[in-house]
Amino acid sequence: MPTITLLPRRGALLTLAGLLCGCDARPHAGGDDWPVTGGEAGNSRYSSLDQINRDNVADLRVAWTFHTGDAPPGGRSEIQATPIVIDGVLYATTPALAVVALRADSGRLVWRFDPFANRERATHVNRGVAYWADGRDRRIFFSAGRRLYALDATTGRPIPTFGDSGWVDLATGLGRDVDDAFLVATSPGVIYRDLLVQGTRVGEGEGAAPGHVRAYDVRTGEIRWTFHTIPRPGDVGYDTWPSDAWRTAGGANSWAGMSVDVRRGIVYVPTGSATPDFYGGARIGANLFANSLLALDASTGRRLWHFQTVHHDLWDRDLPAAPNLLTVTRDARRVDAVAQITKSGFVFLFDRESGRSLFPIEERAVPASDLPGEQAWPTQPFPLAPAPFARQTMTDADLADLSPNAHAAALGRFRALRSNGLFTPPSRDGSIVLPGFDGGGEWGGAAVDPETGVLYVNASDVPWIAAMREAARLPPPGSPPRTGAEVYAAACASCHGIDRRGNDRALSLVGVGTRLSTEQIHEVLERGRGFMPSFANLPEAEKEAVLAYLVRVRRARSVPRVDRPPGWRPPRPTAPYEFVGYERWRDSSGLPVIRPPWGTLTAIDLNTGEHRWRIPLGQHPGLSVAPGRAATGTEQYGGPIVTAGGLVFIAATLDAKFRAFDTATGRLLWETPLPAAGYATPATFSVGGTQYVVIAAGGGKLGTASGDAYVAFALPAR
């Protein structure tokens, strides 16, 4: 059984201030709680609390710090979760995917649930939990590995009547066997009445699972409805794929979270790209409902409207964050709207009911692909307002000049790369992708002030490279086996790097033999793990050779094959081209090749589409701010919240700072160092008349050290 640690606490059980299930969600986060990761069902990331405000925010001090204690030593773990707070109890997840309940005013542990006490530990990020209540029945929902759990919010114990003794298998109900495919849920589902609407994260290559969206009964775990994001015969959008693609196509998943209009009963679902990500020769067409904002009837899953932000995606342009619900003024009339940020730096704004765009959108011609067999879509949608919140093009004049030698090298490569604007397809020469694969906007999302209609969004502002090569093929039968170094270079280096040091998307393999046994590494080669596909199609001698290469021994001893069901055949890639690997384009000193700022924070008035202000966010460590020059900004993960105190709180930066800005001007009012970088989105709440702001300091990305802390701040007691 999973491990639950339950600690006694002083006094009676905390009472429920009010029914906080989806049916009673408020239009924005008023009161003391932060009951949803996005603040409230509409994902405004706004709080009406104003005890902490422009006048006193500089006095904030650390109120408490909670160390989870389970960040693996020497690893690259992360905490990306936004805690929720209900009636004085804070619920959050840890680097090892445990769930903890803390006293929100002290950080004292109430209970802890470890889902991996008696099974193999999964490794993926988690961005929080969901809460539902009906009277005294109060539940926490979260995912670890392929399991979606329902826990008693008071004790942390699994609800025995939910699914299989407290959990359901996310692989069930997708319409086909996905046993060998990567499938988890990194973002919490959303609650509507007695339904939990849940998305998933799937692989990005051939053989990925489909990204269908499902609604689960919160009491039983039964699937109540499924929306097929890859349409089936007779469905709208079926003709945007090759015939019968629905049988094998993957992706088009909603991994970033969703938003709910509780009064109207609409759930807004952003989706990601179809797979494989960078070569679409086998999925010719626009590929609905990939890269789309879907408005679904929350009770039935029926499609009400949709808008596709990228047709036939070749750039991994997933919709990266849950949309924000707000009300704007248009022609002296108040309009309930939904705003969707993108990795490309666009903000799309729609009427919530009709799906009508509230700003003009123009379909513009974009470059064709130069890869045989690929048919890039000839046009893409460009909103004419608001202006993009991230750079989308670069010329040689945009190359950084911090070092003459680095500038000269970058200029030479720039002239060899393909660069024809925002939608330049991946190519064999390499194509510039700006914003990069991780945005622009990312999963931290945006925050909106419901009183003003202003959206606050941060962005990374650095280029990446999208290069393709002819797909590696297995040697003909009877050929001598390749060496371990040859197998690694052909099959592994594109993700883990020639130096085996990995990156933000793939773990370092340096010293992997000290972390995993020979048998465990062999099993990963056979079965795959996470985004890593199975390499069961390699000859056994080559598996042993690459295993020996990784653990740095002369020869790995033979290990037994992993048991497979009768008739199983290893997956074989079919695409003629494959992605070379995720590459941030940096100069020889390790800095982005483009001129700063490398990260920004922008305020956009969604009533008019005008930018109110835009500032660099963060300072690159090791680079001082020159007199008269702005900060460099840094790449970012995590997002902002906004409060009635006139403040935007955000961490997210490489320099491990937590900051507060004036909503009206963008002026920095407060900053403090964190024990590790805060690659997460904060939350704010009040207990006993004291307002707190809490952030996860988990680090682990962009080469920064990992951490295991939640840190809460408050004003000094008077």
At residue 25, the pLDDT reads: 38
Burial pattern 238-258, b for ≥16 Cβ within 10 A else e, equals: bebbeeebbeebbbbbbbbbb
Structural domain contains residue 87: no
Count other Cβ atoms within 10 Å, centred on residue 385: 15
pLDDT at 209 over 70: yes
Residues 6, 51: Cα–Cα separation, whole Å? 33
Q: Please report, to the nearest 10 degrees, the dihedral formed by the alpha carbons of residues 697, 701, 706, 708 taken in order.
A: 30
Residues 574, 471: Cα–Cα separation, whole Å? 9
pLDDT band at 549, cuts 50/70/90? confident
Give me the sheet containing 599-605, strands edge to edge: 446-449, 454-460, 599-605, 611-616
710, amino acid identity: Y
Q: Region 139-150: what's the mean pLDDT?
A: 98
At residue 479, the pLDDT reads: 76
Count other Cβ atoms within 10 Å, centred on residue 567: 5
pLDDT at 665 over 50: yes
Q: Please report, to the nearest 10 degrees, the dihedral formed by the alpha carbons of residues 309, 311, 316, 320 taken in order.
A: 20
547, amino acid identity: L
Q: Yes or no: say if 124 and 116 are a contact pair by the CB < 8 Å rule.
A: no
pLDDT at 7 over 60: no
Q: What percent of the chain has pLDDT over 90?
A: 76
Residues 658, 676: Cα–Cα separation, whole Å? 10
Give the C-alpha distances (Å, rounded to integers) separating 47 from 28, 259, 624, 654, 686.
7, 16, 35, 26, 10
* Peptide bond connecting 673 to the previous residue in cis, omega within 30 degrees of 0: no
At residue 6, the pLDDT reads: 56
Show the beta-strand stretches assigned E in 238-318: 259-261, 266-270, 292-297, 303-308
At residue 551, the pLDDT reads: 80
Q: What mean pLDDT, rounded, does the chain reach?
A: 90
Give the C-alpha distances (Å, rounded to integers) separating 457 from 171, 342, 649.
34, 10, 11
At residue 536, the pLDDT reads: 61
Structural domain contains residue 560: yes
Burial pattern 605-641, b for ≥16 Cβ within 10 A else e, equals: ebbebeebbbbbbbbbeeeeeeeeeebbbbbbbbbbb
At residue 588, the pLDDT reads: 86
Residues 305, 172: Cα–Cα separation, whole Å? 27
Which string of DSSP letters, residue by residue, matches 49-86?
--SS-TTTGGG-EEEEEEE-S-PPTTS-----PPPEEE
Task: Report the CATH number at residue 548.
Answer: 1.10.760.10
Structural domain contains residue 264: no
Q: Region 512-533: what's the mean pLDDT?
A: 67
At residue 21, the pLDDT reads: 39
Q: Yes or no: say if 648 and 683 are a contact pair by the CB < 8 Å rule.
A: no
Q: Which three-class secondary structure state does DSSP give residue 356? A: coil
Tell the residue number behind the tokens 């759990």, with chain if given. 149
At residue 12, the pLDDT reads: 33
pLDDT at 476 over 90: no
Q: Mapped to the 3 state alphabet, what secondary structure does 158-190 carry? A: ECCCCECCCEEECCCCCCCCCCCCCEECCCCCE
Top-confidence residue, 524 or 421? 421
At residue 553, the pLDDT reads: 56
At residue 513, the pLDDT reads: 74
Structural domain contains residue 557: yes
pLDDT at 505 over 80: no
Which string of DSSP letters, residue by residue, matches 387-438?
PPSS-----GGGB--SSHHHHHHHHHHHHHSB--STTPPPBSS-EEESSBTT
At residue 17, the pLDDT reads: 35
At residue 15, the pLDDT reads: 35
Domain that holds residue 568: 472-572
Structural domain contains residue 480: yes
Residues 459, 342: Cα–Cα separation, whole Å? 10
Structural domain contains residue 532: yes
Max Cα separation, the chain? 81
Q: Please count the structural domains in the chain.
A: 1
Structural domain contains residue 343: no
Q: Region 238-256: what's the mean pLDDT?
A: 97
At residue 5, the pLDDT reads: 58
pLDDT band at 8, cuts 50/70/90? very low
* Token pair belonging to 243: 């015939």
Q: Region 488-515: what's the mean pLDDT?
A: 75
At residue 76, the pLDDT reads: 80
- pTM to 2 decimal places: 0.91
List pLDDT tens digits, range 221-244.
999 999 999 999 999 999 999 999
Structural domain contains residue 568: yes
Count other Cβ atoms within 10 Å, centred on residue 397: 7
Q: Yes or no: say if 532 and 581 are a contact pair by the CB < 8 Å rule.
A: no
At residue 616, the pLDDT reads: 98
Point out the least confidently predicted range of 437-441, 520-524, 575-579: 520-524
Top-confidence residue, 612 or 575? 612
Show the beta-strand stretches assigned E in 190-291: 190-192, 195-198, 201-202, 213-217, 223-227, 259-261, 266-270
Residues 698, 700: Cα–Cα separation, whole Å? 6
